Amino acid sequence: VKLYNYWRSSASWRVRIALAYKNVAYEYVAVNITPGVKAQNQAEYQKLNPMQQVPTLVLDDGRQLAQSMAILEYLEETVPRPSLLPSDPYLRARARQLAEVVNAGIQPFQNLPTMAKIGELGGDAKEFVRGYIARGLDGLAASAEATAGTFLVGDAPSFADVCLVPQLNAARRFELDPSRWPLLARVEEACMRLQPFQAAHADRQPDAVAQGAK
């Protein structure tokens, strides 16, 4: 498979974690979404992903799949082991619940076009984003108390942790210190002890290195 993605994109990063966790080899195709380049808006890429966003997974037969949560579900169904969902149906739903707090409740507000629009309207985009991240992480931390073990839901990583790690990185970029949410900071540490989470880290991707990240 080929993963069209960008090193610092949190949605891309989720898919990289799942691919690494499930030991799926992939070709890394960098799409530079920085405001000065906007490679996601080029006609060629738009054919792959009409939403003009990363990530897009292109299967070996050429079919495409977008939306990181849909890609995670696809990988879970096609490569069930090791699993990124608990076996109990209620806990599976809780893992998805926590993932959606990030996917639906935070990330859309921190996306580049959203920030650009807030700026155009005369608002303080950074302050706007900071507010949504803090509100979302407050909710995430409180919700996770019911299920957390070593990870957000029990003692194995799930979709919830796959979404958490890139989101905490984004929080730092907006000058929010994750230590404000001790449970989330502790789970992030547990995740980062695992090789697949290390391999998927933004700073280790080829386009990050090329851009002289951080």
Ligand X SMILES: N[C@@H](CCC(=O)N[C@@H](CS)C(=O)NCC(=O)O)C(=O)O
For ligand X, which is the closer residue by CB, 68 or 205?
Answer: 68
Task: Indicate the SS3 state at residue 8.
Answer: coil
> Which of 7, 29, 68, 86 lies at the binding interface for ligand X (CB under 6 A)?
68
User: Cβ 114 to ligand X, closest distance in Å?
Assistant: 8
27 secondary structure, DSSP code: E
For ligand X, which is the closer residue by CB, 72 or 148?
Answer: 72
> Which of 3, 4, 7, 11 lies at the binding interface for ligand X (CB under 6 A)?
11
Of 112-171, binders to ligand X (CB under 6 A) are 112-113
Which structure tokens are listed for 76?
A: 């879970």
Q: Are 109 and 128 in contact (CB under 8 A)?
A: yes
Scored b (16 or more CB within 10 A) or e, 37-74 reads: eebbeeeebeebbeebbbbbbbeeeeeebbbbbebbbb
Total of residues contacting ligand X (CB under 6 A): 16
Among 100, 190, 177, smallest CA distance to 150 is for 190
> Which of 45, 65, 67, 196 lies at the binding interface for ligand X (CB under 6 A)?
67
> Which of 111, 143, 150, 211 lies at the binding interface for ligand X (CB under 6 A)?
111
For ligand X, which is the closer residue by CB, 147 or 167?
Answer: 167
Does position 56 interact with ligand X (CB under 6 A)? The reply is: no
For ligand X, which is the closer residue by CB, 159 or 197?
Answer: 159
Taking the mean position of all CA atoms in its chain, how far away is CA 89? 23
Q: Are 5 and 28 in contact (CB under 8 A)?
A: yes
Does position 10 interact with ligand X (CB under 6 A)? The reply is: yes
Which structure tokens are listed for 151?
A: 């990870």
Please report, as ranges, the residues that interact with ligand X according to CB under 6 A.
Answer: 9-11, 33, 40, 52-55, 67-69, 103, 111-113
